[in-house]
Amino acid sequence: MVTKSRSDLPAATAAGTPLRTFSRYPVVTLRVDAAGLNRLQLQTGVVSVTEDVPVPPVLAQSVPLIGGDKTRTEGLTGAGTAVAVLDTGVARTHPFLTGRVVAEACFSPSDAEYGASSLCPSGEDEQEGTGAADTDQGPCAVAPLNCAHGTHVAGIAAGNGANVSGAPPAGVAPGANVVAIQVFSRFGTDEFCGTGASPCVLSFTSAQLSGLEKVLELKESGVPLVAANLSLGSGRYTADCGETDLRGPVIEDLLAEGVATVIAAGNDGYNDAVAAPACVSSAITVGSTTDEDGVSTFSNRGALLDLMAPGTGIVSSVPGAKWASMNGTSMAAPHVTGAFAVLRQKFPAKSVDELLTLMKSTGRPITNGSAVTPRLQLDAAALGSTPEEPDPEDPKGQWSRFFINSNKYKIPDPGKVDSPLPVTGIKGSGPVYLHIWVYVVHTWVGDLKIELVAPNGTIYNLQNPSPSDATSLSEVYRVNASKLTTVNGTWKLRATDAYKGDTGTISSWSMDIPFYENTDEYAIPDSGVVEAPITVTGWFPGNAYDDVTIGVDIDHTWCGDLQIDLVAPNGSVSKLLLPDPTDDGDGISKTFWVDARQFPANGTWKLRVKDVTAGDVGTLRSWWLKF
């Protein structure tokens, strides 16, 4: 029941037996008989009366599909943020989530008339603190009750598989922390679970409201929450329900505090409707796609949908330190929840609405009925076609130049198709190695030959046809491009289907070019030294290559005064140019090569320019480094 204000609650509460109250909203849960219900409907100050109906959950190719492996490579992991998972609890010691569950709460009402009992490990209807939402404790740990859903959702949003045997590489935001909130109860009868389905877990609306209140409280206390995930719901709504749904006001308040409430659209297959609370307009409503970017047959859709994300055949964590595949908009929603963590790390000043707009504007359009909804493409949202310029206060360089084509290209059966990728702004000849990431979906991957075509027509073979019966290909290839005079121009990824009978698409591909540049100007002191840094981060786990290229652009009134050195991250010095008293030129624009196999690639490289003779001055205009 909802009243106009909290001052109206005492009179309204007298109509029945209070079951649950809330700390800040004019809402109370009552048990009333017919007379009490009539009294509430006639009472001044009562806005609405609804039944507290229990609802069910709405159930390691998906992360690469949305570009999450790319953002992870670029150091965008959601570090410094937290996401809340309001669900069936979380196995807090699961190796995919170990050490990351930073707060827990349980709101699990028991009700004899519903045959409902609490899932809180303490046995009480409410519990807070360490272990309060742990599915490895209390009733959730007892078979055959299935509380795996919340652990699976948390793993998609924020799992980290580093050094974990058999694990997926990572969820979307493996650096984010998790706030686990149990909002489900145990139901023991087929009346609510369905014939032959008891016991089951269902969630009261009142428990969800309590959980959302707790998220707001934690956010106000300083927990860096960026999103709350609700993969649950029921009903059929074609229009905004925010004014009538009990959860609407707290979802609005969370939005005002910078927390996105991300909600699964529901699994009823409606073409024009979603479930509640996904129908609240201030929530982020997420539908499900397949790996082939089709709309999942079960997914609700329509005008209320904000985004789509992969939700078919998603492998993630489940209790017992195990892994399982699940389907549902429940699996799609946490991809978006994790994306909010990654984008908050990248763009700390942007609002929830601005981040949502960014995801929508960079997403891949998916046609669903008469509507078109963007499917999350996180790398495009976070990185764009090329990484943003580093902050002026930070060292220059940082990331490889990154180019991506996320458009889909159908592969003829048989036949070939090219996916083009324009590259600009790279100085000098080709690097020793390019890194090419390819994501192709095909009903028989073994039919395919994959090639990379350079702007000058040079063809690099990436993969030949094989006996593989896989249905998708997600691989990174290393290509030696050092013989190219330039990498600028239009590259093409070519997929050739050599055999008839199977179909597919080039879903997306990208190119990382290890080119780093510092375009700041540095005055060269007369009879002094200046150093210009370039920081390298990204693809290079070990030492650099034997053919590192350095480009230098200097103005100086007597170039023969200058000595130029390259300083590696470990302090090793390579001499590029020695002083020459006979060189009276006023500019240096040269390319140098260094065997850097003994130097670590990652770290800060420096170009050191020393003026060895008094009487002349100049400027280091820019320099670049390419592996």
Give me 260's structure tokens.
Answer: 């996105």
At 341, is the secondary structure helix, strand, or coil?
Answer: helix
Cβ atoms of residues 271 and 301 within 8 Å: yes
Cβ neighbourhood burial of 468 (10 Å; 0-12, 13-18, 19+): middle
Is 87 one of the catalytic residues? yes
Is 152 one of the catalytic residues? no
Helices (H), strands (E): how many in the chain?
11, 40
Q: For tokens 């990185």, name the residue.
A: 383
Measured in whole angstroms, how far is the alpha carbon of residue 7 from the centre of its chain? 43
Q: Which among 117, 299, 316, 330 is annotated as catalytic? A: 330
What string of DSSP letters covers 107-176?
A: E---BGGGTEEE-STTSSSEEESTTTTBTTSGGGGSTT---HHHHHHHHHHH-B-TT-TT--SB-S-TT-
Cβ atoms of residues 245 and 209 within 8 Å: no
Q: Which amino acid is at 61?
A: Q
The Cα-based distances of 245 to 50, 263, 407, 623 in angstroms read: 9, 14, 38, 59
Q: Which among 8, 52, 69, 87 is annotated as catalytic? A: 87
Q: Which among 94, 149, 435, 556 is annotated as catalytic? A: 149
Query: What sign has the CA pseudo-torsion 532, 537, 542, 547?
Result: negative
Is 234 one of the catalytic residues? no
Give me 203's structure tokens.
Answer: 């969630």
The 3-class secondary structure across 417-483, one letter per residue, is: EEEEEEECCCCCCCCCCEEEEEEEEECCHHHEEEEEECCCCCEEEEECCCCCCCCEEEEEEEECCCC
Give me 140's structure tokens.
Answer: 């959730």
What residues act catalytically? Answer: 87, 149, 330
